């Protein structure tokens, strides 16, 4: 009989095996870290996708529903030529929980020293960075998506400017799509009024400062959807407890879809998507809210 030769295990082959095993062990130890990094990356991507202020669409105010008052203060002040002063944009939301303000204010570049804008302390987040160009001042500030709306009074922003060779007037653009206020529980523009300001040049006679009073516009009434959603039936293999949990989840999903459809009929798709994520983030982590999309 022929003898079978045994394979020789050399030191070199032993080292190769140990190196491969070590490499595989290292990869397995890094796998949880890679998963965490991936989840965080998806969360950040979702945040950047859904919280761009330019994509939020807020409809016009329905006159009697406005609760937020904006005012430039002092409304009238006198300064020498080329002497600047701080004009404060104040907010009074009363008991309404304000979540954001967008403002667009005009000035005459030939009569006003070029304005500068500083964010106030009423809102924490910059939704649209301040721009000062072409005789217009634009900015938008608001709360963090996971924070609660703010009530009462405070400073939204401070505008520093002054008269050159004539009175310098700061005037809100008379368009309620340009000047917006949002509050919790209200899907329309919640701005009630916005008051202007004038910086008089020393020697000129002060004139009354006008204020914006929005013209009431009819609010959108969404087309009602069929009421009385059917309770889903459970698979026969489910226990009573499993069936109840299943029916609760399906009913919740049906209600969510119905609410979203009603929102889309009355608003824009971007608005409804953003509002849904903001509402979700108040009670759930980012990863869970991204499941809606």
CATH code of 122's domain: 2.60.40.680
What is the pLDDT at residue 266?
Answer: 67
Tokens read off for 220: 């959108």
pTM score above 0.75: no
User: Phi and psi dihedrals of 103, rounded to 5?
Assistant: -130, 145
Q: Which of 176, 199, 222 is the last residue of a domain?
A: 199
Q: How far is CA 102 from the centre of its chain?
A: 11
Q: Token pair for residue 286?
A: 């980012």
Domain that holds residue 249: 238-279
At 187 the pLDDT is 83
User: What CA–CA distances, in Å, run from 210 to 97, 113, 171, 177, 207?
Assistant: 27, 21, 9, 19, 9
Residue 85 phi/psi, 5-degree rounding, is: -150, 160
Q: How many domains does the chain have?
A: 2
pLDDT given at position 248: 79
Rounded to an integer, what distance in angstroms lies between the CA atom of residue 138 and that of residue 117?
9
Same domain, 77 and 176: yes
186 lies in the same domain as 99: yes
> Stretch 249-256: mean pLDDT, rounded?
72
Do 248 and 189 lie in a common domain?
no
Give 268's pLDDT tier (boundaries 50, 70, 90): low
pLDDT category of residue 206 using cuts at 50, 70 and 90: low
Q: Are the C-beta atoms of 127 and 100 separated by less than 8 Å?
A: yes
pLDDT tens-digit map of 91-138: 999 999 999 999 999 999 999 999 999 999 999 999 999 999 999 999
Residue 241: pLDDT band (50, 70, 90) is confident
Residue 156 in this model has a pLDDT that exceeds 70: yes
Final residue before a domain boundary, out of 143, 178, 199: 199
Mean pLDDT of the 40-60 span: 47
Residues 128 and 187 placed together within one structural domain of the fold: yes
Does any domain span residue 102?
Answer: yes
In a domain, residue 54? The reply is no
């Amino acid at each position: 009989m022929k003898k079978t030769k045994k394979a020789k295990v050399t030191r070199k082959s032993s080292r190769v095996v140990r190196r491969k095993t070590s490499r595989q062990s290292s990869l397995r130890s890094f796998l949880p870290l890679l998963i965490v990094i991936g989840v965080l990356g998806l969360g950040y991507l979702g945040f950047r996708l859904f919280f761009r202020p330019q994509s939020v669409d807020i409809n016009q105010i329905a006159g009697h529903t406005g609760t937020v008052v904006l005012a430039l203060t002092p409304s009238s002040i006198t300064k020498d030529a080329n002497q600047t002063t701080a004009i404060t944009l104040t907010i009074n939301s009363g008991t309404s929980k304000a979540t954001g303000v967008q403002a667009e204010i005009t000035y005459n570049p030939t009569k006003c020293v070029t304005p500068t804008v500083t964010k106030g302390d009423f809102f924490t987040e910059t939704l649209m960075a301040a721009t000062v160009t072409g005789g217009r001042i634009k900015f938008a500030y608001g709360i963090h998506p996971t924070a609660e709306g703010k009530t009462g009074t405070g400073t939204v922003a401070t505008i520093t400017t002054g008269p050159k060779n004539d009175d310098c007037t700061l005037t809100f653009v008379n368009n309620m799509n340009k000047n917006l206020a949002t509050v919790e529980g209200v899907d329309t523009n919640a701005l009630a009024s916005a008051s202007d300001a004038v910086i008089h040049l020393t020697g000129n006679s002060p004139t009354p400062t006008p204020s914006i009073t929005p013209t009431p516009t009819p609010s959108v009434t969404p087309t009602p959807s069929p009421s009385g959603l059917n309770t889903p039936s459970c698979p026969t293999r489910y226990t009573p407890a499993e069936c109840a949990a299943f029916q609760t989840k399906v009913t919740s999903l049906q209600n969510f879809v119905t609410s979203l459809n009603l929102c889309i009929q009355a608003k824009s798709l971007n608005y409804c998507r953003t509002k849904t994520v903001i509402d979700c983030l108040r009670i759930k982590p980012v990863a869970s809210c991204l499941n809606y999309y």
